[in-house]
Structure 1
């Protein structure tokens, strides 16, 4: 009987060890480990209990042996239940199980010290309940194999429970034999159940990953010795293999890899095979089965395949994305209308060519003259067609070393590589201008266009792309100032002029706000008597720290930026304030003429504000004279004429400045509500030449017929003064008679003139002699 118990205990330990070895193969299944330790503890409990119970004499040693046997058997049941819980995907609550285990052991110890049979019955009951719990867990929602194992646990529960009832010491032969058979059968069942479940889980994982690979959008390829041993559908589709076909080229590298990349592909394959930790990212061109290039991005790593090293390639076809990137890049660097490279391309190319020590080259900025007139007259469709025609002709005729780009609207840029001397640049510029001598056939019409060209040379005109472009543009804009198609090289003085214009434009707003402007007053004299009859107010800009700025610089800048209106309002404010001061000091004033820009007449409220200003300062309206140039009056007649009529009706004097420089007609002169006509200095300067005198005489006759004052501007000599008086001019103005004066000096001159006039007016009139 002892031998039978030893065999049963040994088999349980062996089955437990077998389960642990099975768990070592796949540690995901913890229940196999719990059942392995449970069976080992069961074998140890049987060895320490029934086998050694009769060997050790009664006493403390036997008590310790009984306690250890009980602990092993109870722990075996606890781990058995833990394994059943884990098999069902649940977790045994150890926080409750361990106190229950300790309580069970305490009860067994107490019962064992008082009544061994009671302890035996309690222990058999606990072990039977443990087996029944395991049986319940495996039976519920179990498959057929699981329910057979569940029946084995029930049979083992019956063996444990019946043992004390068959024999008081639980040493019945029936118990031992039946226990050996049930435990052996149950052990084999647990091993088979664990193996079957592990295989099922492995098969499920394999199917899952197989589906992932088969449905993946990424290509998966396994290579051994440059032969494909596995390729998923995505990979076969990337390279154009027929669906469902298993055919492949004998030498994959020669078939799908361009010749210049084959050595790199073979080297990467060997690295992946030799290094289990290899992770090699790569991007390269491959060929599909039709020989078309593909851009492939891939990741190569080591893989064991059928016991041999292999290369696993995960890849995506990046060709469509690359084509989209190329299209976006082309769109970013090319002009859609003319298909020429655009400003971005030019800037990038200039950045590449302007490094330190780079070879010299030239840049030509080209702008079509009066192109806006084509758009306004014939429409933008014709303008676009003309731009395409110009681009096409220049592209076809320019030499290969000349790269043509379109900077925008009607401006082009020619990058002339390898040509740095001015002579060859000038030859190309003349060639470009000559190309436009032939008209363009556009939308059924023949159109002539001309260009203005400006050239800059690297490195002398600029060390980077931005400065070279500025230099070429400055030269081109200077060329635009010349009549007809023209070409200019950049000169450093152009930079200074451009900076001065920019500086003036940027500083004007602050200067107007801080009233950095002042007026000087140039006197006008009555012809014949040479008495003072008025002033012309001339604006001056005194920039703090920079001195005086010429009106030729800041007045055009104010008109370009739209600040002329604010500047004009400031000039009128200063002039009327000065008139008020003179009126307070002298009791009367002479008219002061102020130049008004036609842009000020764009404001419908200009006349109202001017009259309100005069009334606010209690000035007679005829103390102010508004001057407008002949060209401005003719070019903006619709806006200027109504407001001039209103000013004249209110008593404000109006004069036509620079007469003789525009295209005035007799009808226009008759309709303008002016009181004065000022002859431009270009008419006075040639006097007393006969032809000039004839023109001035005719003009004066015209002015007198319209009852206008005639002012001769630019009188520099006494000869000119006398000639102007003799020809009919009524007022004289110029450096010969009086230069522009400060407000204080003009006030002194005014006071003196008014004093003379007062004395003359107060002299008694002599009666005529009889």
Structure 2
């Protein structure tokens, strides 16, 4: 009897250990662990309570043994019930069931002290009800194994119930034999169910991963020794293989990996096979099986395949993105029309070379009158011409012994960079050869066209040690070459660059200076010939910066005309001149003041109207403000100037032609213009009293008298010049001999003393 119980206990222990071992293969299935523990505890309980009890003498030892056996059996029942509930995903209240079974265990122990058969009967009842609860949780399902489990739980309950019925202390051989059979079958069924569940889950998981791999847009491949073991459809399609069988026949390293990538691919494969934790990201070019170029991004790691390490490669086809990036990179660095490097590429190359201190020549070449070609022959022809010219420049520079490059800088501008040239003579010799090469006609279809280039030359480090400075120098020289007729070249001239910088500075400061009213007028006096009495003033504008710097009118007047700021500047000059005239008029002494008017001002249709309105508001006689316009302005804007001068002359505002003798005035124009005064330019006055100069001045004065014009001679600096002018027929003198430009206070003082004749050979006023 004891042998049967011990055999049953040992068998339960072994079955429990088996279940625990199954659980360790897949720890997510907690119910398998619980069933294993239940079997182990049940075996221990049987061994302690039934198998060992007959050989232990009554007393405390037997009571302790019985208590341990009861605790083991109750804990086994708890584990069995919890495992069954979790298996069927039933709600489980561990606190409730643990408390209930603990109370029952205490009850069994108490009953055992009073009357052992009662304790055995109570324990059998608890075990019977626990197994029936497990049977209810498992239920009658379509699965055969689960039905067998339910039946065996019911049978186990019957065995537990039969124990007290067949023997008061549950020591019937029938009970133990049937219990051994039923419990063994139940444990085996639990093992089968656990194994089947694990197998099903493994199968489901494999199916899931298989479906993921088969339907993934990422390419998956398994390699060993560069032989393909597996590839999903995405990878097969990526490389152009119709199926896995064909792909396995290929030599991946020889057929799909470019020669330059083979070494790195082999090294990566070896590293992955040697290190289970390796995760290597890579990207690079590959070939499809039909030779189509690919660009892949991948991740390589180790995978055990058929019991041996292999390389698992996850791949993305980045070919389209890579080609798009390459196209953007090319677009960013190469000109689409000519295929030559563009401005960005040229500036980067120039920056690298200048940073390295490499001596070089920079050639900026611009096509002359390219807009005329576009307008006459069409933009498409112009594009083809630029392409052909770029190729002509490239072919010529390839014959150069020094490293060189040709870039397209702008619409019709090219940049040639030649390394190793330092001497201006070498640069000019190369420019002459370049112009000679491009002077040959370009033939496009049936048409031949000769192209003229203006070429600017800048040398590094002579003209600049950085890309921006050198490029600016070359373009400055190119613009100077454009002033030379035909194909021409010019070296960078630092003096001209300083002049350009001064002009730019004047343009940038003009607007701020106008708002701050940094301009003021000085007044250069005019005197009548013979008496040398003061007859009027010419208002000249001066620009005094707050920092004390004076900017020459030769710089800021052209800058104001280029930028259109001559309009507000001209308005300011008129305002200041009128205010000064009003001040003199209020003092009772006033003479006419002449102001220079830019041709840009005459382009304003209402210039004359606004000037007359301001004169009316000032209350001054209109004859006190004289308008001077240059001979060149009168010639270039004749129609507009003539209309507005006639309006001013009719209103009583006198007008004068300034700088006469510098332009190409005709007698007809002099007759048409409503002017009262002709001002001889200083270039006519300076040679006096030489006979040839005197003849020209005398003829001009005679012409002026015939047209009833006053003749004002500018730039009179010597008494000999003044005497000659008076003798030749001039009516007024103006120059440093008689008076320099005066500040308003000094001009006022001169005006107050103007009643006296000025003696000859008097010092000039300052």
Distance 2:583 2:379 in 1: 56
Matched, 1:504 2:503: no
Name the CA distance, whole Å, in 2 between partners of 1:237 and 1:442: 47
Displacement of 1:566? 3.2
Residue 156 of structure 1 corresponds to: 156
Per-residue displacement from partner, 1:312-354 (whole Å, max 9, x unpaired)? 3333344333322221111111222333211101011112222
Change beyond 3 A, Cα 1:409–1:535: farther
Residue 349 of structure 1: aligned partner = 349
For residues 442 and 712 of structure 2, what CA distance do their matches in structure 1 show? 50
Q: Which residue of 2 aligns with 1:8?
A: 8
Residue 359 of structure 1 is matched in structure 2 by 358
Shift of 1:539: 1.6
Is the partner of 1:678 in helix, strand or coil?
Answer: strand
Q: Secondary structure at the match of 1:619?
A: coil
Offset at residue 376 of structure 1 (A): 6.6
Q: Distance in 2 between matches of 1:466 and 1:482?
A: 25
Deviation at 1:426, TM superposition (A): 0.9
1:466 pairs with 2:465: no
In the alignment, is the contact (CA less than 8 A) between 2:31 and 2:83 conserved in 1? yes
In structure 2, relative to structure 1, the CA distance for the partners of 1:47 and 1:417 (3 Å cut) is same
Range that drifts further, 634-643 or 230-239: 634-643
When residues 751 and 463 of structure 1 are mapped into structure 2, their CA distance, relative to the original with a 3 A threshold, is same
Alpha-carbon distance change, 250 to 433 in structure 1, aligned in 2, over 3 angstroms: closer
What are the Cα deviations for residues 91-120 of structure 1, in whole angstroms up to 9, with x where unaligned? Answer: 744354444444444444555555655554
Summarize the Cα distance change of 1:571–1:386 in structure 2 as closer, same or farther, 3 Å threshold.
farther
Equivalent-residue separation in structure 2 for 1:70 and 1:682 (angstroms): 135
CA distance in 1, matches of 2:374, 2:643: 31
CA distance in structure 1 between the aligned counterparts of 2:326 and 2:429, rounded to whole angstroms: 36
Q: Distance in 1 between matches of 2:93 and 2:700?
A: 120
Residue 563 of structure 2 corresponds to 561
Say whether the 8 Å CA contact 1:302–1:310 is kept in structure 2: yes
1:312-327 to structure 2, matched below 5 A, reads 312-327=312-327
Give the match for residue 83 of structure 2: 83
Shift of the alpha carbon at 1:311?
2.5
Task: Identify the residue that residue 330 of structure 1 maps to in structure 2.
Answer: 330
* Corresponding residue of 1:38: 38
2:265 is aligned to 265
Structure 1 pair 651/292, CA: closer, same or farther in 2 (3 Å)? same
In structure 2, the CA distance between the partners of 1:114 and 1:248, relative to structure 1 (3 Å rule), is closer
Q: What is the distance in 1 between the residues matched to 2:23 and 2:194?
A: 9
Change (3 A) 1:348 1:604: same
Deviations 1:215-257 (A, max 9, x none): 3333333222332222333333333333354354575433333
Structure 1 SS opposite 2:243: coil
Residue in structure 2 matched with residue 254 of structure 1 by the alignment: 254
Change in Cα spacing, 1:496 to 1:93, as seen in structure 2 (3 Å) is: farther
User: 1:544-576 CA deviation, whole Å, 9 max, x = no partner?
Assistant: 445322111222223333433333333333322
Corresponding residue of 1:22: 22
Moved more, 407-416 or 681-690: 681-690
Alignment partner of 1:416: what SS?
A: strand
2:715 aligned residue: 714
Q: TM-score, normalised by structure 2?
A: 0.88
Match of residue 535, structure 1, among 533, 537, 541: 537
Tell me, yes or no, if the aligned pair for 1:644 and 1:654 is still in contact at 8 Å: yes
Partner deviation per Cα, 1:681-716 (whole Å, 9 max, x = no partner)? 344445566776666566556655655444333334
1:379–1:240 Cα change, 3 Å: closer
What secondary structure, in the 3-state scheme, does the structure 2 residue paired with 1:753 have?
coil
Tell me, what secondary structure is at the counterpart of 1:339? coil
Cα distance in structure 2, aligned partners of 1:592 and 1:441:
63
Q: What is the CA distance between 1:511 and its match in structure 2?
A: 2.7
The separation in 2 between residues aligned to 1:90 and 1:722, in whole angstroms, is 131
Aligned residue pair count = 755
* Alignment check: 8 A CA contact 1:454 1:473 kept: yes
The corresponding residue for 1:235 is 235
Contact 2:228–2:247 (CA under 8 A) maintained in structure 1: no
User: Matched residues in 2 for 1:573 and 1:208: separation?
Assistant: 91
Determine the C-alpha separation between the residues in 2 that align with 1:84 and 1:535.
Answer: 120
8 Å CA contact 2:561, 2:600 repeated in 1:
yes
| 1:491–1:583 distance in 2 versus 1, CA, 3 Å | same
SS in 1 for 2:301: strand
Deviation at 1:262, TM superposition (A): 3.6
Whether the aligned pair in 2 keeps the contact of 1:82 and 1:91 (CA below 8 Å) is no
Q: 1:72 aligns to what?
A: 72
Taking the aligned partners of 2:259 and 2:453, their CA distance within structure 1 comes to: 51
Instruction: State whether residues 364 and 454 of structure 1, in contact with CA within 8 Å, keep that contact through their aligned partners in structure 2.
Output: yes
- Establish whether residue 517 from structure 1 lines up as the match of residue 522 from structure 2: no
Q: Distance in 1 between matches of 2:206 and 2:641?
A: 91
Report the alpha carbon displacement of residue 17 of structure 1 after superposing the two structures with TM: 0.2
Partner of 1:49: 49
1:300-449 map, 5 Å: 300-356=300-356, 358-372=357-371, 383-400=382-399, 401-435=403-437, 437=439
Q: 1:381 to 1:272 in 2, by over 3 A?
A: closer
- Name the CA shift for 1:439/1:557 in 2 (closer, same or farther; >3 Å): farther
In 1, Cα distance between equivalents of 2:447 and 2:686: 46
Match of 1:194 in 2: 194
Q: Structure 1's 293 and 458: CA in aligned 2 closer, same or farther, altered over 3 A?
A: same
- Per-residue deviation, 1:361: 1.4
Q: TM-score, normalised by structure 1?
A: 0.87
- Offset of residue 379 of structure 1: 6.4
Cα distance change on mapping 1:35 and 1:753 into 2, 3 Å = same
Secondary structure, in 3 states, of the residue corresponding to 1:735?
coil
Alignment-derived partner of residue 761 in structure 1: none
Mean CA deviation greater in 589-598 or 158-167:
158-167
Q: Is 2:135 the partner of 1:135? A: yes
Q: Work out whether residues 382 and 443 of structure 1, in 8 Å CA contact, stay in contact via their aligned partners in 2.
A: no
**Distance across 2 between alignment mates of 1:665 and 1:621:** 29
Gaps of 5+ in 1: 758-770
> Is the CA contact 1:249–1:255 (under 8 Å) kept in the aligned structure 2?
no
Name whichever of 86-95 and 508-517 sits farther off: 86-95
Residue in 2 that maps onto 1:175 = 175
Q: Which moved more, 1:112-121 or 1:560-569?
A: 112-121
Query: How far does the alpha carbon of each residue in 1:109-132 deviate from its partner, in whole angstroms, 9 at most, with x for none?
Result: 555555655554554444334333
**2:655 matched to 1:654?**
yes
In structure 2, the CA distance between the partners of 1:721 and 1:108, relative to structure 1 (3 Å rule), is farther
User: Residues 200 and 578 from structure 1, CA distance in 2 versus in 1: closer, same or farther, beyond 3 angstroms?
Assistant: same
1:19 Cα shift? 0.6
Q: Determine the structure 1 residue equivalent to 2:205.
A: 205
Judge conservation of contact 1:712–1:731 (CA < 8 Å) in 2. Answer: yes
Q: The residue matched to 2:415 in structure 1 has which SS? A: strand
Aligned to 2:599: 598
Q: Distance in 2 between matches of 1:639 and 1:122?
A: 129
Report the secondary structure of 1:537's partner residue. Answer: strand
CA RMSD of aligned residues (A): 3.5
Name the CA shift for 1:638/1:213 in 2 (closer, same or farther; >3 Å).
farther
- Give the whole-Å Cα distance in 2 for the aligned partners of 1:747 and 1:108: 134
**How far 1:619 moved relative to its partner?**
3.2
Alignment of 1:744-759 (within 5 A): 744-754=745-755
Against the structure 1 CA distance between its residues 511 and 391, is the aligned structure 2 distance closer, same or farther, given a 3 Å change threshold?
Answer: same
Say if 1:670 and 1:88 are closer, same or farther in 2 by CA, change over 3 A.
Answer: farther
Alpha-carbon distance between aligned partners in 1 of 2:487 and 2:741, rounded to the nearest angstrom: 40
